[in-house]
Chains A and B, each alone.
Chain A
């Protein structure tokens, strides 16, 4: 194994890590701040991908499709929060699990009614369709770099919003002590509705963004769901930094696992999670017990 091989595999790992981070960040946001275990997160990812496919078909421009699709998913998140999730804040985690499980079934059906059962692809936008040669035989698509850049931008924006703005401050306060914030005259219900729809939109956004390198098909949401939970838990619930580190770890373990020890490639990421949790039962960056 030579150095360039190692470098390219590291590039693959980082790139995959970015993608995972983007999906998982919305989950950890909802999870950590609102204390909601949202099994339907993968469904929002799927809806994002289908919206990208459908709007791209209608408008012929992926970026425009994303611009139209994002408000739609924020709206969907709001509706779901108002009609269902909102009743569950004071209830046990398990009821959230159950309710969002029911949501998966309904959102899957919605997808089938709206877009059918076929597999679809989304073309890479022309401006980003080029690729960069890495070795004689392999080159790297520019669009994958674009995804990484977008992930960095989202991560930075999230960090700034949560740690540097007034909204972020109330969100953090609401996460620590809901009643206290309420007493101080802040409408926590509205606050949580905003957070939930933002989280849902983040999932959908990552579905849209990765649609051109993925394929769009029924059941795609459930695949991404488990792996994003793994990322969030490894990093520590509610920690954006943790989600980032967790995503990168999974990226590296998955990539190198497949190449170096293919016999246990299926097990590798779960073994990693088990080891991390045994070492640090609250995840790498998890502070307070969930």
Chain B
């Protein structure tokens, strides 16, 4: 994973270029659709860091996504904050602290038990928001003003502008991708990889493996928070369903379908799955059965996910899914 295959790199750059010029051609609806997909892609990247690289399968990742939305809504309603400079760091801090707490408990377990304990924390958070009337209960909350970027009181960019929102999201996606890649290429990332492959051995080499895993969990939680911040701001709506286990499951599906442990795979997964859903749900009322069949077909016929299609073109069958 140190070097991307040249073909893949080329395709990624072409894809990026397409995304950059897309707003010049797109209708408003497709602009918003692609914005939504990019938000999903950021969430998928953050989950891939956990699942594909650190070997920690979280079944509660949507909790941080939803928590970010609630944090943004509360900051606006109770503190009157609308500036991106103030709200985004605050939201990320909230998600970081939450991830620190959840992670500190969760990393004591592994395997399926890790899956279930992350689910447990996410469900607790879900019921917390669902049951407390201060946060609007099951109906959720609204974010009435979109965040803005101001310098000396002069409004530079407002996310009310859909094109601005699109580019901010695209920037966030590229930044997330590069940040995670840099982390993975750093010594820290090498240790994370070592832990996934053989944790006792990494520990024997003197690495405080738990601290590494916890740091990884917090980074992933904050990136999910970034996605949640944008996701909630886009339509100005947040409700408990954003934190439900269906959402966490959906995020996992995107990652595995796209190809975990590749970073670009989950981004592809977000595009493919969302566009497929858009397409099929317009064709037939029984669209979920088509999605189900598609998922099963990918599992059986395309181990390694969609990303492996690209890599296979270049390397034959060498690409293996991360264990």
Contacts and interface: CB of A to CB of B under 8 A. Distances in A.
Direct contact of A and B (CB under 8 A): yes
Interface of A: 31, 37, 84, 87-88, 91-95, 97-99, 101-106, 108-109, 112-113, 226, 229-230, 233, 237, 263, 266-267, 270-271, 273-274, 277-278, 281-283, 286, 289-290
Interface in B109-129: 109-113, 116-117, 119-121, 123-124, 127-128
Contacts of A113: 286
Contacts of A37: 112
B144 interface: no
Q: What bracket does the count of chain B residues touching chain A fall in?
A: 35 or more
A98 B292 contact: no
Contacts of B234: none
Contacts of A237: 112
A101 B250 CA distance: 10
A87 B298 CA distance: 13
Contacts of A277: 108-109, 113, 116-117, 120
B289 A105 contact: yes
A109 B286 CA distance: 7
Shortest 4 CB-CB contacts between residues of A and residues of B: A105-B292, A266-B127, A102-B295, A109-B289
Nearest to B289: A109
22 contacts: A88-B299, A91-B303, A93-B57, A97-B252, A98-B253, A98-B299, A101-B253, A101-B292, A101-B295, A102-B291, A102-B292, A105-B292, A112-B286, A229-B116, A233-B112, A271-B124, A274-B120, A277-B108, A277-B113, A277-B120, A281-B113, A290-B111
A55 B111 CA distance: 40
Contacts of B123: 226, 267, 270
Given A99-B295, A109-B292, A273-B120, 14 more contacts: A84-B300, A92-B321, A93-B57, A93-B112, A97-B256, A101-B249, A106-B293, A229-B116, A233-B116, A237-B112, A267-B128, A271-B124, A274-B124, A290-B112
A115 to B, nearest CB: 15
Q: Is the interface of B mostly helix, strand, loop or mixed?
A: helix
A124 B11 CA distance: 62
Nearest to B109: A281
Contacts of B294: 102
Nearest to A271: B124
Contact of A106 (B112, B121, B292): B292
A230 B110 CA distance: 16
A98 B321 CA distance: 14
A229 B295 CA distance: 22
A221 B256 CA distance: 24
B124 A289 contact: no
Contacts of B127: 266-267, 270
